[in-house]
Amino acid sequence: MTAVLRIDSSPRKDQSISRDLADKVIAQLGAPEVVARDITGGLPAVDAEWIGANFTPATDRTDDQRAKLGLSDTLVAELQAADTIVISLPIWNFGIPSTLKAWIDLVARAGLTFKYSAEGPVGLLEGKRAILVIASGGTEVGSAIDFATDYMKHVLGFIGIHEVEVVAADRMMVDADASMAKATAAIDALAA
Q: What is the DSSP string of 116-179?
A: EETTEEEES-TT-EEEEEEE-SSPPTTSTT--SHHHHHHHHHHTT--EEEEEEE--HHHHHHHH
Condensed to tens digits (0 to 9), the pLDDT of residues 100-117 reads 999 999 999 999 999 999
- Helix (H/G/I), strand (E/B), else coil: 110: strand
pLDDT band at 28 (very low <50, low <70, confident <90, very high): very high
> The CATH number of the domain where 98 resides is what?
3.40.50.360
| Domain assignment of residue 14, given as a range | 3-188
pLDDT confidence of residue 73: 97
What was the pLDDT predicted at 2?
Answer: 64
Total domain count, the chain: 1
CB-based contact 134:154 (threshold 8 Å): no
CB proximity list for 182: less than 8 A, separation 6 or greater: 168, 169
**Above pLDDT 90, what percent of the chain?**
93
- Tens digit of each residue's pLDDT (9 = 90 or more) over 55-83: 999 999 999 999 999 999 999 999 999 99
| Distance from C-alpha of 84 to C-alpha of 32, rounded to nearest angstrom | 12
Residues 188 and 140: their CA atoms lie apart, in Å, by 21
Q: How far apart are CA 148 and CA 145, in angstroms?
A: 9
Q: What is the mean pLDDT of residues 87-101?
A: 96
Q: Over 41-96, what HEC string results?
A: CCCCCCCHHHHHHHCCCHHHCCHHHHHHCHHHHHHHHHHHHCCEEEEEEECECCEC
Q: What is the pTM of this model?
A: 0.95
What distance lies between CA 137 and its chain's CA centroid?
Answer: 20
